[in-house]
Structure 1
Amino acid sequence: MKRKLFILLLAVALVISLGSLGGCGQGQAAAGGTITIGSKDFTENIALAHIMADMIESYTDLKVNRKVNLGGSNVALKALQNNDIQMFPDYTGTIVANYYQEETGSSEETLEKTRQLTEQDGFKVLKPFGMNNTYTLAVTRETAEKYNLKTFSDLAQVSENLVLGCEFEFQDRPDGYPGLQQVYNMNFKDVKGMSHGIKYRSISEGEVDVVDAYATDGQLKVFNLVILEDDKEYFPPYDGLPLVRQDILAEYPEIDDALNQLAGLLDDETMQELNAKIDSEGMKAEKVAHDFLV
């Protein structure tokens, strides 16, 4: 009789134990959740989105969906506003000058204005990654030597003889070609809009003479291009950083701590090297992001 009672009690204890474990598992699932990170349609932004996703998955219980290569800046912003994505990597100069069409200043001034402008619309920018991916203009060494080009002002004097190849949004955004026309009186013979990747092939094959570029582009080294000096300091700072919806941070405050661990880790040279691994060595952006963090 005692043996039967012991077995019965043991069985009850086992049921209770399994129930507790099941409840614990349900609690952990509820404490997790799923978020979506997006990116624009160029190498660096895609890589940064994967780095952000890896950090969140490593330091939180959240699952991350990745919607990379969405399109240009305004496409990514629209997705964020519509809550199709909850965050994406962006740049201070783009936010201030392009989204809000406000004046930029130094890196510190532009960052502070970025914080103020985004907060009023329900977003938050976290700590900068460390690189300043400012716009620049680049030419082949042959073109630089032929026209003795060192600065944007030098280029403006011969621009009517040259063809500019640039990303589609650069043609129209206020901090792009329209501003160059005003500040430098730079008017090219023709302007050809194209994707980020195609423009480097176009300049190497002589289809265009000048390209817009990001200071951290890996392909600047790959194609041995000459970066011209923005001697009137036209282009604003473009410090890279996460742009996140405030409501998702309120729901999952651990995201803030996870992503802020990236602060200052990616200087210009490091970012250029990561970009080159993708663009010239053919590595997947996901692997480059993972390898950087491990």
Structure 2
Amino acid sequence: MNKKRWLSAAAALLLTFSLSACTVPTASPGSGGGPANLTIGSKNFTENIILAHMMADLIEDRTDLNVRRTLNLGGSSVTWKALLNNDIQLYPDYTGTIVANYYQEETGTAEETIKRTRELVSEDGLEFLEPLGFSNSYALAVSQETAAEYNLKTYSDLAQVSQDLELGAEFEFTDRPDTYPGLRELYDMEFKSVKGMDQGIKYRLMAQNDLDVSSAYTTDGQVKVNNLVLLEDDKGFFPPYDAGAVVRKDLLDEHPEIRDALNELGGKISEEKMQEMNALVDEGYREDIVARDFLVENGLLNKQQ
């Protein structure tokens, strides 16, 4: 099967910039301070950073390995390319992103998409480990007032009035094939304007009633904080986005104990719990503290740190 790679020269340039711009990582607390045996990365949003910290903590707790944390690398294509290039050896990702975005294939049910994810990444020398227990799907959100004014419950409802409304979304959302371009085609949705912006700006504008519609993740803490309404994807456009660790096989061949450690997170995180952890960071807590507290509360750390 021919596979289309969604890895542009621009993404490669951005990767170089992102890696050079990161704070020089050091061995994490409790790792013994020796040289790193592996590098874990993350994308540039709260949830992915929290999950990366969890994975690093578990590896350091269950093994004698030292983990370098090179987090907040950038968007999906940047982090994916870093993994393929062996600049990082693992990071958290999502099944729908892997299948629909990186390999540009159709997705199916959650189970089918997990299976296809594993088949596809295996061809690139990677392994997708046990899903963590939640799916963080894309969504479209509106304020309570906008939902009431236009009687909005579904994406089809939104499409009928989209010409009068402005959409704000992360830059990645505006051009990925599994996001706005496909959504627009399926629902015949044409907004008055579509503005790319950072996540923090997007939610601030929503809170100030300066933006009509926002892209969102179903686990976003800001959805709950700002009392936003997630509309129903009534035609089922967005694929399942089950979260899990994607890891280089050469690392797992050398250190199979990493697989055992990370698979202990399998099925442990609900969508509600992930949203709660994201909200804690929005309130000012550090991602690494939120991650570690979850592991401690769930009895997943053995070593006394």
TM-score by length of 1: 0.88
Give the match's secondary structure for 1:243. strand
Report what 1:142 is aligned to. Answer: 145
Choose from 219, 223, 231 the match for 2:222: 219
Deviation at 1:206, TM superposition (A): 2.6
Q: Which runs of 4+ in 1 moved over 3 A?
A: none
Deviation at 1:62, TM superposition (A): 0.7
Choose from 174, 181, 190 the match for 1:187: 190
- Could you tell me which amino acid in structure 2 is paired with residue 282 of structure 1? G
Counterpart CA distance in 2 for 1:73 and 1:105 is: 21
Report what 1:45 is aligned to. Answer: 48
Show structure 1 runs of 5+ residues with no match: 1-28
The reply on whether 1:258 has 2:253 as its aligned counterpart is: no
Aligned length: 264
The reply on whether 1:98 has 2:98 as its aligned counterpart is: no
Counterpart CA distance in 2 for 1:269 and 1:201 is: 22
Counterpart CA distance in 2 for 1:74 and 1:253 is: 27
Counterpart CA distance in 2 for 1:245 and 1:196 is: 30
Q: Is the 8 A contact 1:163 1:210 kept in 2?
A: yes
TM-score by length of 2: 0.85
Counterpart CA distance in 1 for 2:194 and 2:39 is: 36
Report sequence identity in percent. Answer: 63
Report what 2:294 is aligned to. Answer: 292
Q: Is the 8 A contact 2:91 2:245 kept in 1?
A: yes
Give the match's secondary structure for 2:130. coil
Give the match's secondary structure for 2:107. coil
Q: Is the 8 A contact 2:91 2:246 kept in 1?
A: yes
Q: RMSD between aligned alpha carbons?
A: 1.3
Deviation at 1:33, TM superposition (A): 5.3
- Could you tell me which amino acid in structure 2 is paired with residue 157 of structure 1? Q
Choose from 62, 65, 69 the match for 2:65: 62
1:130-164 deviation line (CA, Å, top 9, x unaligned): 00101111000010011000000000000011111
Report what 1:244 is aligned to. Answer: 247
Counterpart CA distance in 2 for 1:207 and 1:76 is: 32
Report what 2:119 is aligned to. Answer: 116
Deviation at 1:198, TM superposition (A): 2.0
Counterpart CA distance in 2 for 1:127 and 1:195 is: 30
Show structure 2 runs of 5+ residues with no match: 1-31, 297-305
Determine which structure has more spread, i.e. the larger CA radius of gyration.
1
Q: Is the 8 A contact 1:39 1:67 kept in 2?
A: yes
Counterpart CA distance in 2 for 1:43 and 1:158 is: 32
- Could you tell me which amino acid in structure 1 is paired with residue 253 of structure 2? A
